[in-house]
Amino acid sequence: MLSLIVWSPLVGALIVLMTPKEKVRAIQTVSFVAAGVALAASLTLLLNFDRGSAAMQFVERWMWIPSLNVQYLLGIDGLSYPLVLLTAFMSVIALVGSLGIKERVKEYFFWFLLLEVGMLGVFAALDLVLFYVFWELTLVPMYFLIGVWGGPKKEFAAIKFFLYTLSGSVFMLLSILALYFKSAPHTFDMLELMKPGVQSLFDPRFQILAFLGLYFGMAIKIPAFPFHTWLPLAHVEAPTPISVILAAVLLKMGVYGLLRIAYGITPLGFAWFLPALIVIAVINIVYGALCAMAQTDMKKMVAYSSVNHMGYCLLGIAGMSATGFSGAAFQMVNHGIITGALFLLVGVIYDRAHTRDVSAFGGLALKLPVYSGLMAMTCFASLGLPGLAGFISEFMCFLGAFSAWPWPTAISVVGIIATAAFFLRMMQKVFLGAFNEKWAGMEDMTARELISVMPLAVVTVWFGIAPKWPLDLMNKTIEHMLGK
């Protein structure tokens, strides 16, 4: 079943490749079917997913390269399953947003589906080599998607994104190889590597080094200070649906890797790094919010708010408590949904006005009530208003970190205020005040745009009011992770 989820976009991608490029409709249909199959399949897993178990489920294991003991090993648990769901869901949403792409449609959808394969694979893979392959597989499509369909500085942004993340993952590869050679018998199997018997082979010094390599690769993806500067540029230049995917899924790969691999396999290295991690988390939160405050470009502002929100994830992780871990896991999902919606909404206004400068607008709430309402809701969700998705997870992250790090957590609260400040300011400048007559001809949201945003808005409210369902998915796994 997992293979079906992971590979169905690839099948779609191959079919797209074989379709003549004039048949835009057919290409779009195929892409939707492929992504839809992945989503449907991941949803059907819900029926059989055992919430009471912390073990890996739906495991698929075949030998891939026997001479190196590399396996084709897929499996999900409470940590990865929500992210698989998120990926499949956000891909469909982003595909709806991609219907507006008019040039080189065939290539676009091909790369998009390939990207989805990579993302789903990262969350489902349990073999380090497989994981690494999928991890790198996301890079190439992303490079082309930014570099071809992006904004004015797209080539620069694409190259910066590609090289920077690649340089990080090279260190990750080093660590993976080191783990392989240090383990006996040599294995890339994550589950194997987490077992106490294998763990005892890794002395603290080795774990620290291995952790640093892994962390370097993941910190760039997260992005954690000071490796975050690729993000605003990539976000600003990427086309809207790709920004959505970038924020909603790609950043999560870093945090997921940190929890699953770095914490799971090199716990001593992780523990050694904690004091630095909390500092990084606080910097991400406060500094990210401050940088966002200084922006006038809406997309850049949202991008920096991502830095800020990933800081909450790091904060939760740094707390090393069950509350913090599940807060971080939940925050990943919520951030994906909320920021995805924010990027879609910013894209809506950019499509109409071809500018994202906040001071270019004014009083749009008079003319575009639906758009303004959705945007306001999403902004409030992002700044952590109770009743919307962000609040509970953010609070859990703080709660999880507070007992271990009271002072850094207290400082991080400043980030909440700054977040509120820049979102309110943005809303005031764009939506409130006197109507800017320049945009008199502007239309409210179209059906396609509503279809892409509404599901996100619904989930935002749902997770905000009744977070029981997603939390129950994760709880057992998180408990188990910390129990050992």
- Find the shortest distance in angstroms from Cβ 384 to another protein: 8
User: 86 with 336: CB under 8 angstroms?
Assistant: yes
Sole binder of another protein in the list 111, 131, 132, 402 (CB under 8 A): 402
Sole binder of another protein in the list 229, 272, 444, 462 (CB under 8 A): 229
- Find the shortest distance in angstroms from Cβ 296 to another protein: 10
- Find the shortest distance in angstroms from Cβ 428 to another protein: 5
CA 244, CA 255: separation in Å to the nearest integer? Answer: 17
Sole binder of another protein in the list 123, 164, 188, 215 (CB under 8 A): 164
391 interacts with another protein by CB under 8 A: yes
Sole binder of another protein in the list 44, 359, 403, 446 (CB under 8 A): 403
Of 119 and 473, the one with the shorter C-beta distance to another protein is: 473
462 interacts with another protein by CB under 8 A: no
363 interacts with another protein by CB under 8 A: yes
- Find the shortest distance in angstroms from Cβ 385 to another protein: 6
428 interacts with another protein by CB under 8 A: yes
163 interacts with another protein by CB under 8 A: yes
- Find the shortest distance in angstroms from Cβ 62 to another protein: 34
Sole binder of another protein in the list 33, 268, 322, 451 (CB under 8 A): 322
Map residue 135 onto helix, strand or coil: helix
Mark 71-110 with x for binding to another protein (rule: CB under 8 A) and - for no binding: ----------------------------------------
CA atoms within 13 A on the CB side of 321: 16
Sole binder of another protein in the list 276, 413, 438, 484 (CB under 8 A): 413
Helix axes 154-182, 139-149, angle to 10 degrees: 180
Site for another protein in 272-301 (CB under 8 A): 287, 290-291, 293-295
The CA–CA distances, whole Å, from 181 to 68, 176, 178, 210 equal: 11, 9, 5, 12
The token pair that represents 55 in the structure block: 């073990």
Question: What is the residue whose two structure tokens read 């945007």?
Answer: 375
Torsion sign (Cα): 166, 168, 173, 176: negative
Of 242 and 478, the one with the shorter C-beta distance to another protein is: 478
CA 379, CA 432: separation in Å to the nearest integer? Answer: 14
User: 198 with 192: CB under 8 angstroms?
Assistant: yes
User: 382 with 305: CB under 8 angstroms?
Assistant: yes
410 interacts with another protein by CB under 8 A: yes
User: 312 with 397: CB under 8 angstroms?
Assistant: yes
Residue 352's Cα: distance from chain center in Å?
Answer: 27
Sole binder of another protein in the list 71, 306, 308, 321 (CB under 8 A): 321
170 interacts with another protein by CB under 8 A: no
- Find the shortest distance in angstroms from Cβ 395 to another protein: 7
The maximal CA–CA distance of the chain, rounded, in angstroms, is: 71
Q: Is residue 193 exposed (0-12), middle (13-18) or buried (19+ Cβ within 10 Å)?
A: buried
Of 226 and 275, the one with the shorter C-beta distance to another protein is: 226
CA 326, CA 298: separation in Å to the nearest integer? Answer: 30
Sole binder of another protein in the list 395, 450, 455, 462 (CB under 8 A): 395
Of 99 and 293, the one with the shorter C-beta distance to another protein is: 293
First to last CA, the chain: 29
Mark 430-449 with x for binding to another protein (rule: CB under 8 A) and - for no binding: -xxxxx--------------
Sole binder of another protein in the list 46, 201, 417, 458 (CB under 8 A): 417
Residue 66 is given by DSSP the state: G
Of 16 and 231, the one with the shorter C-beta distance to another protein is: 231
- Find the shortest distance in angstroms from Cβ 432 to another protein: 4
Comparing CA positions, the residue from 465, 312, 337, 464 lying closest to residue 396 is 312
Alpha-carbon radius of gyration of the chain: 21
Residue 50 is given by DSSP the state: -
Number of neighbours of residue 282 by Cβ within 10 angstroms: 25
The token pair that represents 133 in the structure block: 């392959």
Which residues in this chain contact another protein in the complex, by CB under 8 A?
A: 160, 163-164, 167, 225-230, 287, 290-291, 293-295, 321-323, 325-327, 363, 365-366, 369, 380, 385-387, 391-392, 395-396, 398-399, 402-403, 406, 409-410, 413-414, 416-418, 420-422, 424-425, 428, 431-435, 466-468, 471-472, 475, 478-479, 482-483
